[in-house]
Structures are given as structure tokens and as C-alpha cells.
Structure 1
Amino acid sequence: MTEDFDSRKARAAAWFRDLRDQIVTAFEGLEDHFGTGMPGRFEVSETHRGDDGGGGLMSVMRGGRVFEKVGVNISTVHGVLGARAQKAMAARGVPGMDSDPRFWASGISLVAHMVNPHTPAVHMNTRMFWTPHAWWFGGGADLNPCIEYAEDTAHFHAQMKAACDAHSADYYERFKAWADEYFFVPHRGRARGVGGIFYDDLNTGDWEADFAFTQDVGRAFLPAFLPVTEGRVNTPWTEADREAQLIHRGLYAEYNLVYDRGTKFGLETGHNADAVLMSLPPVAKWT
């Protein structure tokens, strides 16, 4: 591969850091403008993958006015894939895993669990992955309400569609269908939310174009999520609403622990377990 991937890696990692900063600022702004009591603030700590495998920043807010728990993590890690990860990559068609299993990966991962049951939980991530033989981008965002409002679902999807349509006429339908499949919980026979978009292994042969698309997916997140949150954050709620929220969080936890690719990859490659499991809700319930 003749491209200067050192500079491209640096650009991608810098973009994920910038997106993280924008989201943290916006979320703390929500805390300042809504609710009562002390506004929540992110606690930031460094994470590490072994002694020389890179790391990142874990930013978590707990017990806020708007967010019961939200994490916005970034990481840039590298090293040699273990046997299980090599096998998984080879099964996905990544060449060269048996001869040179080095890797580099950078990305942002966000999960928000809200105070008000009428305000949906949400997930977003974008990432770049590199090996000496291949590179690709992945990511997406999906909305996870326990009490669905059709207009919120429509707004969220419209923002994701606009990001997709700016790059390819078929991206939205492809990546929406992929999200519907990926975020399905087989043992419960249902989706974990109302979907969004999901894509992985994106390599059209044009790194700049694929990076630009990934940036637009990241940029679409705040316009997709903030209006929904602002519109629901003051909705009165009942104990029955809270019960529905806690049970839905149980479904979310089951999915992330059993099926989520990112959770499996992070734990198998030795990244900080607290950062990997940031997505789990602070309180959940099972019937």
C-alpha cells in the first residue's frame, strides 16, 4: 500500500477528538439549560491498552439533570491482534492476518442513558481501522427510546439520511437495513430500538471520500439528537414510565454484552474494561 497512512491515521484520530470535544460541550450545555439542581459535568480519565498499545480518553457524566449516565470515549490503539481477533478478522475477509496481524484503530464511541423516560437513549460511533493489508471505516448511530414518538424517530432518521444522501443515493437504504439487522436482539426476537444507520468495512478505494462520509455521519449526530432531547426533557413522567425505561435498559445491556462487535473487540484486544463497558446503563431491570 503506497498511501501515506501515517498522516491519514493522524487526521482521523484528530477528527474523532474534535468531534468528542463538540459533543461534550453540547451535552454540558444541555445540563446548564434544563432541569434543576447542580448541572452534570463529565469526568475525564485516560485509558490505556497495555504498556505500549495506545489508549484514549474516557469521558463519563453521571447523575446529571438530563443525563443519568453518558459516556463519550475516544481511543487510538495499536499492536498485534490475538488469535481470536485474527480469526474474526479473517472470517470477515481481511487478508494477511496469518502473516502480519498488526493493527491500528481509532474512533469515538458514545452512549447516553437519560433521566426522563420520554427522552430516548442513544448510541453513536465512528471509527477507522488499519492493517498492513487493508483499511476501512465504520460507524453509525441509532435511537433507543423506551417510549417511542413517531416524530422523534422520523427526525433522527431524516438527519442520518441527509448525511448519507450527500455521498451516495443508496447509502441510507443500505445502512438503515444494516442497522435493522445489526441491532436486532435474536434471543428476544425484537430490535433494541428504532434503528438508524450502521456500516462497517467501508472501503470504496477512495480514502478521502470514505473519511468525508464518516465525518458527515459524526456531524449529523448532534442535529439528530439534540432537538429530540430538548423536546422531551421536560415531559412529565410516571413510575410506570420509569419501569418501562429500566426494563428497556435491560434489553440494551443484553445486546451490548452478547452481540456488540465493539464490546467484543475491545475486551479481546486488552483495552481498558471500564471504557469498553461504558455503554452499560447505571440502573436496569429484568422482569
Structure 2
Amino acid sequence: MDMMTEEKRRAATWFRTLRDEICAAFEQLEETQETGPFAGNPAGKFELRETKRTADDGSDAGGGLMSVMRGGRVFEKVGVNISEVYGELGERAQTAMAARKGFPEMKSDPRFWASGISLVAHMQNPHTPAVHMNTRMFWTPHGWWFGGGSDLNPCIEYDEDTASFHAAQKEHCDRHDSAYYPRFKEWADEYFYIPHRKRARGVGGIFLDDHNTGDWEADFAFIQDVGRAFLAAFLPVTERRRNTPWAETDKDAQLVHRGLYAEYNLVYDRGTKFGLETGHDPEAVLMSLPPLAKWV
């Protein structure tokens, strides 16, 4: 794996730095939550576990760091995972990759390397929306690209929250290209749609994949800002809603919405499919699932 070695190192280091910043911000939210029905809980802390990926021949194929907080004052369950994996793509993944990127050469040299950060937060207060974020870099001998984004998933929608979340995404996109936000917002609306329910899983955000303008430095700078946009978008919404009084009917609505979220992640999400098909730690791959959900 000697191609783009420095670029890979910088990307993997950035995803680790972003993880550290997000985890620190979330633990600070926990420390400062002093009201509400969960204020008596110990302030949540992330539990860390290294993950390993092993190739079919038993050789090392990378891994990552799984960071999960459960049963806190603000967060019922939140995971912030990073990974750096490599090896050779199996036949199904080769075919899918060749179709998406137009790389018919994948079968002649199926090596790959990928690194990224993946986050999903399920909240205690049903007025505080769940959220998802991930960014990643993917490399093969035939090309490289970036992907990711973030989207807001409230069970009780507030127009103010949707507007401020999208405004932060737009601000960070506009630093690079004014065409990015409308393009990637539309992509998110299409990607985070649940066909069998005929509805979106949330109120959207941005989503991009296979992003390669031919300028690695510019694309890396952009994907860093996609990551930076997350806290700028999500923290104000959380501050606004985490002390809102709620009733059992609100909690019931949250559990039903979580069922919708679980359906999407298990049936349609690309990252879930890729992680399971390439042999990554299933606990890390399925970290996104909520601790409790309900179907009616």
C-alpha cells in the first residue's frame, strides 16, 4: 500500500482529530446537563474499544477505534467510530465499485484502503433530534475519492432547528463552491429516502460520495469542512431542545421513529453493507442502531 502514503496518513489523522473534538464536546454537554429527568445520571463518558479486521487468509487488514457512550444525561446512546482498513475487495464489492466509479480494472487489481469517521447519536429527550455524520476517504490503485455528510433525524420536527442545521451546512460548503450545498442537499434528500415507507428518514442535510475533482488538496480541505460543519450544525439544536419538557407520548413517538431509522440502516445504508461485506467488526458497523425502538 505504497501509493498516496502521505495523503492517506493525513486523512486518517484528521478523522482521529475530528473524533477527539466531537467526543470532548459531547462529554461537555453531559457535564453541563443539570436539569430534567436524567440529570441524576452520572455524566456520560465514552468507552473505548479497539476493533480489528482480519483478511480471509488471517492477515491483518486494519481496524479502528469504537467510542460509545450509553445512558447519559443528554445522550441515550452515541457512537463515534474511526477506522482504517485495507486489503482486497471481494467479487461483489469489486463489481459494485466498478459500476459506481467506472473502474473495470478493479478485477485486475482489487486492492483498497479506506479511512473515515462515523457517528450516530440517539438522544434522551425526544425533542432533541437524533443525528448522523460520517466522512471518509477511499483509495484503490485506479483512483481515490471522498464521501460523507450529515443529516438530522428528529421525531418531533421544529422548523427553526431544520433551518439552522442546514444553514451551518451551507456556510461550510460555500467556502469551497457555491454549487456544493444545493447539489449535496438534493443528494441527501434522495439518499436518505425510505422507499418502502414512501418518506424521508429525517429532515435531511448533505450527502456526497465518489467526490474527486482531480485536486486532492482541495477535496481534502472540503471534506474537513464537512466534518467541521457537524458540531456547528448540531450543538445549537441540542442546546435549544435538551431541556424541553416532554411527555410519554413524545417518548413513544421517538421509539417509533427509531424503528424507521433502524429499517433504513439495515436495508439501504451503503456504509452498513460495505462494512459487513468486507468483514469489519459487526459491533462497530451496527453501532448506529438505537438502544430501544418500536414498531406499530
TM-score range for the pair, normalised by the shorter chain length:
over 0.9
CA distance in 1, matches of 2:53, 2:31: 34
1:47 aligns with 2:51: yes
* Residue equivalent to 1:186: 195
Instruction: State how 1:75-94 maps to structure 2 within 5 Å.
Output: 75-94=83-102
TM-score by length of 1: 0.98
Match of 1:62 in 2: 70
1:93 CA drift (Å): 2.6
Return the letter of the residue paired with 1:57: L
Deviation string 1:131-164 (CA, Å, 9 cap, x unpaired) is 0011000000000000000000000000000111
Deviations 1:154-175 (A, max 9, x none): 0000000011111111100000
For structure 2, the residue ranges without an aligned partner over 5 or more in a row are none
Give the alignment partner of residue 218 of structure 1, picking from 210, 222, 227. Answer: 227
The CA distance in 2 between the partners of 1:20 and 1:169, in whole Å, is 27
| Shift in Å, 1:118 | 0.1
Structure 1 residue aligned with 2:140? 131
Partner of 2:246, secondary structure, is coil
Unaligned runs of 5+ in 1: none
Give the whole-Å Cα distance in 2 for the aligned partners of 1:109 and 1:40: 19
Secondary structure, aligned partner of 1:286: coil
Aligned position for 1:74: 82
Give the aligned partner of residue 153 of structure 2.
Answer: 144
Question: Matches of 2:281 and 2:3 in 1, distance apart?
Answer: 29
| Deviates further, 134-143 or 94-103 | 94-103
TM-score, structure 2 as length reference: 0.95
Corresponding residue for 1:232?
A: 241
How big is the alpha-carbon RMSD for the aligned residues of Structure 1 and Structure 2?
0.9
What is the aligned partner in structure 1 of residue 7 from structure 2?
8
Q: Is the 8 A contact 1:94 1:134 kept in 2?
A: no
Answer yes or no: is the 8 Å Cα contact 1:123–1:143 preserved in 2.
Answer: yes
Is the contact between residue 118 and residue 145 of structure 1 (CA under 8 Å) also seen in structure 2?
A: yes
Equivalent-residue separation in structure 1 for 2:198 and 2:153 (angstroms):
16
Inter-partner Cα distance in structure 2 for 1:97 and 1:108: 25
Q: Partners of 2:96 and 2:259 in 1: how far apart? A: 27
Cα distance between partner residues in 1 of 2:229 and 2:190? 22
Aligned mate of 2:127, from 118, 127, 133: 118
Moved over 4 A (4+): none
